[in-house]
Amino acid sequence: MSGQAAERQDPVHWVYSFGAGAAEGRADMRNLLGGKGANLAEMSLLGLPVPPGFTITTQVCAAFYENDRQYPDGLKAQADKALADIGTQVGKGFGDPKNPLLVSVRSGGRTSMPGMMDTVLNLGLNEETVQGLAELSGDERFAWDSYRRFIQMYSDVVLGVDHSHFEEILDEYKDSQEYFRDTDLNAEDWKAVAASYAARVESERGKPFPQDVHEQLWGAISAVFGSWRNARAETYRRLHNIPESWGTAVNIQAMVFGNMGEDSATGVAFTRNPSTGENKVYGEYLINAQGEDVVAGIRTPQALTREAREEAGSTKPSMEEALPQVFTQLCQIFKKLEAHYRDVQDIEFTVERGKLWMLQTRTGKRTAKAALKIAVDMVDEGLITQDEALLRLDPAALDQLLHPTLDPQASRDVIAKGLPASPGAASGEVVFSADDAEDLKAKGHNVILVRIETSPEDIHGMHAAAAILTARGGMTSHAAVVARGMGRPCVSGAGALRIDYAREMFSVAGVEIGRGDIITVDGTTGEIISGEVATIKPELSNDFARIMEWADAARLMQVRTNAETPGDVQVAREFGAEGIGLCRTEHMFFDADRIIAVREMILAEDRTARVAALDKILPMQRGDFAEIFKVMAGLPVTIRLLDPPLHEFLPNTPDDIAEVANASGMDDEKIRRRTAQLHETNPMLGHRGCRLGISYPEIYEMQARAIFEAALQVKKETGAAAQPEIMIPLVAMKEELQILKQKIIAIAAQVEQETGEKLDYLIGTMIELPRAALKAGDIAIHAEFFSFGTNDLTQTTFGISRDDSALFMNDYIRAGIFEQDPFITLDQTGVGELVKIAATRGRAARADLKLGICGEHGGDPASIAFCHEVGLDYVSCSPYRVPIARLAAAQAALTSKKR
């Protein structure tokens, strides 16, 4: 606030004019003028035909809201002057009954929020000026039609008189006259309709429709500013992470008319195909129409080019054919704009009686596929550099290209919607338990695992499933995180589902789906669909490969992956992962063939019994690591020793308990008692991580041995193994690391002695607790690397459990407390300060300390930029995010180089 106040020293420039080859603004003043205003100014400067106008800045919007919806001093005078200048340029007067200037009043924020805010056209018409317009245009029908449109639009937007009133009047009028289409109405008809409109406005609001054009203007301006905080706009901003503080600008511009006859038209165009990226003009237009007609979809628009018309098999003339001269001029402007902006432009234009007017240009939105092609093409055309190509791609959008998607042509019977938790889509038979999923998958079925929520015990089932669907849990629930990690499509938090495990069915919206029924889960949209929908497997284009190659050359940070199953590790390697940043050993413990031994280990009453159980697990873990080390030959593999609380592994059902009792020789009662003993109130903050290693060192000793033996085994077999980096989780105190490190070194020494081979490994820790970050200087004395576990660090720094945050996260985002879910994008000033503190103190204590991140944030582009700034050596993310991270890391490097 104080910064803004300082900027507002008199005389403040509240208003920026444009038009006639000149402008006070520029394209790079988007924050102040909004995108539309800045580009109108830029087009004016380029000498393009832009109807003159002016922009009221976003600062006015901020002042308006701060000051109880009052305008700042000086605005009115500046706006009056700018309005007079428009009149001078077009030779008309605002409110002049003979020669009236009409204007449009449009919103325009920093980024486009299509259709979210209000617009008023034809402003400046009243009972007098409508007659002037009629004379001036020589078209009385056009004038009265414009006036009635204005009354309707203005009353709806500014006066709060619902548009249904006007539709009703028009329908009644047409009925009374037995008209069918609007084109049946003549000038007198429109005049009568306009009179009815005005009468209805007066009866609804108790005051006549405003005739004072200045009152009209300021009413419209206030309505546009007011629409910044309407419900639609707020929702849009929340969904698109647009801060409320940005505000909107308001553009007032002389009206031009595409509805003044057959030599008039209005249209929209992209300079290249935004869907495929092809370098061909793409767009549509309507003869004798106003812009709103194109958007409203009442008339079917026509193609711009003949080629497009022919492709669509249409007979309606293309603009190329109907208005060839204007079309040629338009194409020249397209070239000029692309050359100037060096990017695809999305354009609005109007042709008034054969004269072309440019109403808007902006960067064209495009699909991920198109974005890649356009970027690569423009590099090849010499229009942009490789760096620019990299910088203008949205890394997150790559996600679309990597996962299978539903065939957009197929029909969908959507029965419910949840959160789009993990992209991609799959169809399969519904199952309600992880074991069932595994069994059916083994028999060759595609299955969809449906759970109220998932837990680590379900991992094998999630692996077996083609997709996962849960009734509870948010975008960062266990199901969501694990599914993204595995690249499985997932819809979470589908609260409408009533799941009945006992009956093996769920019901939703009157539909009942039982075990074995086929559904399709679309993790990209959150849709749950009855029956099968065909999917398309993505083919990665050559453009993708080239972009990745450029990105790898540009980035400074390494990109690793979070993976532990051989399949995931392989996928990640193919996506370009340069090692593993997080290999979670506990997932390996849930496999059906070893969970019994794991349970015996946990239930053991003393060290001897525990060691005996661990001896059974050792060869299995060694085998796991050996597979991973083979795939990651020559690359670093960070293995996190056992992390979750032991009770997560314990049996819950009587059957499970009986099985364990049978295998271990313990009685059921004892197992139940031990399970109760291990129960925790807040397992996240409980007996887990290195605390297990301190209490039961033999577990970590077994894991260390498995790692070392696997490394030597693979080296022997293949001549090249990965370099193990052993990671101790949940360290809060240097003593924890110190003690456990010594034990691991002792195991390494034993293995070296037993084999006569030399081991090459690092020992480090996760920094995932605030205390660890603060004490990083002490901890680094014992750690050869730090990996920031920002999931847990976010949980403890905020005091928010990911598993429980769904209960209030929506309230928080709605209240504007969170601009973004901090479990998705790193909270840079809070959690991020701890990361910085840890990096600084850690490196001060050990200059060659290796720093990385293995939380979910390692795959989030904004967070990756932060990691680059902090100076991390690598980021690690789930396999399907590796390409995203490669690109985001390149962008971060390029951006900071530019600074």
Q: Does 1 bind a second copy (CB under 8 A)?
A: no
- 814/897 with CB nearer a second copy: 814
Residue 562's nearest CA partner among 572, 552, 574 is 572
C-beta atoms surrounding 740 within 10 Å: 24
The interface with a second copy within residues 272-301 (CB under 8 A) comprises none
What is the distance between the alpha carbons of residues 651 and 599, in angstroms, rounded to a whole number?
A: 8
What is the distance between the alpha carbons of residues 515 and 505, in angstroms, rounded to a whole number?
A: 6
CB of 161 to a second copy, least distance (A): 30
User: Who contacts 537 (Cβ-Cβ below 8 Å, separation ≥6)?
Assistant: 404
3-state percent helix, strand, coil for the chain, nearest multiple of 5: 50, 15, 30
Q: Does 687 bind a second copy (CB under 8 A)?
A: yes
The interface with a second copy within residues 644-673 (CB under 8 A) comprises none
Kindly state the tokens that stand for 790. 């920002």
**Whether 650 contacts 678, CB under 8 Å:** yes
Give backbone dihedrals phi and psi of 67, rounded to 5 degrees, phi first.
-105, 40
- 620/684 with CB nearer a second copy: 684
Write down the catalytic residue from 854, 857, 868, 877.
Answer: 854
CB of 583 to a second copy, least distance (A): 22
The alpha-helical segments, DSSP class H, found in 495-644 are 542-554, 566-574, 592-603, 607-631
- 235/695 with CB nearer a second copy: 695
Which position among 229, 771, 784, 845 is part of the footprint of a second copy (CB under 8 A)?
771
- 298/781 with CB nearer a second copy: 781
Tell me, residue by residue from 457 to 496, as one string, x for binding to a second copy by CB under 8 A and - for no binding.
----------------------------------------
CB of 63 to a second copy, least distance (A): 20
What is the distance between the alpha carbons of residues 98 and 92, in angstroms, rounded to a whole number?
A: 9
Q: Name residue, tokens 């004072």.
A: 212
Q: Could you say which DSSP state residue 803 is in?
A: T
Q: Does 454 bind a second copy (CB under 8 A)?
A: no
CA dihedral 802, 804, 807, 810 (to 10 degrees): 0
C-beta atoms surrounding 177 within 10 Å: 13
Which position among 739, 824, 845, 862 is part of the footprint of a second copy (CB under 8 A)?
739
CB of 677 to a second copy, least distance (A): 8
690 is catalytic: no
Which position among 20, 295, 620, 694 is part of the footprint of a second copy (CB under 8 A)?
694
The alpha-helical segments, DSSP class H, found in 184-265 are 187-205, 213-227, 231-240
877 is catalytic: no
- Residues β-bridged to residue 168: none
- 317/777 with CB nearer a second copy: 777
CB of 811 to a second copy, least distance (A): 5
**Whether 366 contacts 343, CB under 8 Å:** no
- 555/841 with CB nearer a second copy: 841
Q: Does 732 bind a second copy (CB under 8 A)?
A: yes
- 187/739 with CB nearer a second copy: 739
The sign of the CA dihedral 615, 617, 620, 623 is negative
- 104/796 with CB nearer a second copy: 796
Give backbone dihedrals phi and psi of 546, rounded to 5 degrees, phi first.
-65, -45
- 239/815 with CB nearer a second copy: 815
CB of 804 to a second copy, least distance (A): 4
What is the distance between the alpha carbons of residues 660 and 674, in angstroms, rounded to a whole number?
A: 13
Alpha carbons within 13 angstroms on the beta-carbon side of residue 566 total: 9
CB of 526 to a second copy, least distance (A): 20
Which position among 684, 762, 845, 862 is part of the footprint of a second copy (CB under 8 A)?
684
Write down the catalytic residue from 165, 403, 460, 478.
Answer: 478
- How many residues bind a second copy, per CB under 8 A? 48
DSSP letter for each residue of 14-32: -EEEEETTEES--GGGHHH
Q: Could you say which DSSP state residue 378 is in?
A: H
Question: Taking contact as CB under 8 A, which single stretch among the options 33-41, 50-58, 73-81, 804-812 is the one that binds a second copy?
Answer: 804-812
Tell me, residue by residue from 805 to 844, as one string, x for binding to a second copy by CB under 8 A and - for no binding.
--xx--xx--xxxx--------x-xxx-xx----------
Which position among 663, 774, 862, 870 is part of the footprint of a second copy (CB under 8 A)?
774
Which position among 2, 315, 682, 753 is part of the footprint of a second copy (CB under 8 A)?
682
- 141/687 with CB nearer a second copy: 687
Which position among 379, 601, 730, 851 is part of the footprint of a second copy (CB under 8 A)?
730
The interface with a second copy within residues 538-597 (CB under 8 A) comprises none
Which position among 12, 496, 685, 762 is part of the footprint of a second copy (CB under 8 A)?
685
The interface with a second copy within residues 784-803 (CB under 8 A) comprises 792, 795-801, 803
Kindly state the tokens that stand for 256. 């031009």
Which position among 419, 678, 704, 877 is part of the footprint of a second copy (CB under 8 A)?
678
Which position among 340, 672, 691, 715 is part of the footprint of a second copy (CB under 8 A)?
691
What is the distance between the alpha carbons of residues 874 and 872, in angstroms, rounded to a whole number?
A: 6
Sequence length of the chain is 899
Q: How far apart are the first and last CA of the chain?
A: 26
CA dihedral 503, 507, 511, 514 (to 10 degrees): -30
What is the distance between the alpha carbons of residues 248 and 87, in angstroms, rounded to a whole number?
A: 25
**Whether 107 contacts 227, CB under 8 Å:** yes
**Whether 736 contacts 744, CB under 8 Å:** no
Question: Taking contact as CB under 8 A, which single stretch among the options 576-584, 609-617, 729-737, 888-896 is the one that binds a second copy?
Answer: 729-737
- Residues β-bridged to residue 361: 347
**Whether 833 contacts 856, CB under 8 Å:** no
Q: Does 242 bind a second copy (CB under 8 A)?
A: no
CB of 834 to a second copy, least distance (A): 7
Kindly state the tokens that stand for 783. 């750690």
Q: Could you say which DSSP state residue 269 is in?
A: E
CB of 831 to a second copy, least distance (A): 7
Q: Does 735 bind a second copy (CB under 8 A)?
A: yes
- 612/807 with CB nearer a second copy: 807
CB of 803 to a second copy, least distance (A): 4
- 280/691 with CB nearer a second copy: 691
Which position among 662, 695, 718, 742 is part of the footprint of a second copy (CB under 8 A)?
695
- 220/475 with CB nearer a second copy: 475
**Whether 262 contacts 288, CB under 8 Å:** yes
Q: Does 769 bind a second copy (CB under 8 A)?
A: yes
Q: Name residue, tokens 């490394």.
A: 711
Give backbone dihedrals phi and psi of 221, rounded to 5 degrees, phi first.
-60, -45
Kindly state the tokens that stand for 224. 């546009």
Sheet of strand 345-352, all strands in order from the earlier edge strand to the far edge: 302-303, 282-287, 265-270, 345-352, 355-363
Question: Taking contact as CB under 8 A, which single stretch among the options 198-206, 224-232, 322-330, 768-776 is the one that binds a second copy?
Answer: 768-776
Residue 579's nearest CA partner among 722, 684, 386, 448 is 722
Which position among 192, 505, 733, 745 is part of the footprint of a second copy (CB under 8 A)?
733
CB of 357 to a second copy, least distance (A): 45
CB of 237 to a second copy, least distance (A): 15
Question: Which residues carry out catalysis?
Answer: 478, 854
* Residues contributing to the site for a second copy (CB under 8 A): 678, 680-687, 691, 694-695, 730, 732-733, 735-736, 739, 768-771, 774-775, 792, 795-801, 803-804, 807-808, 811-812, 815-818, 827, 829-831, 833-834
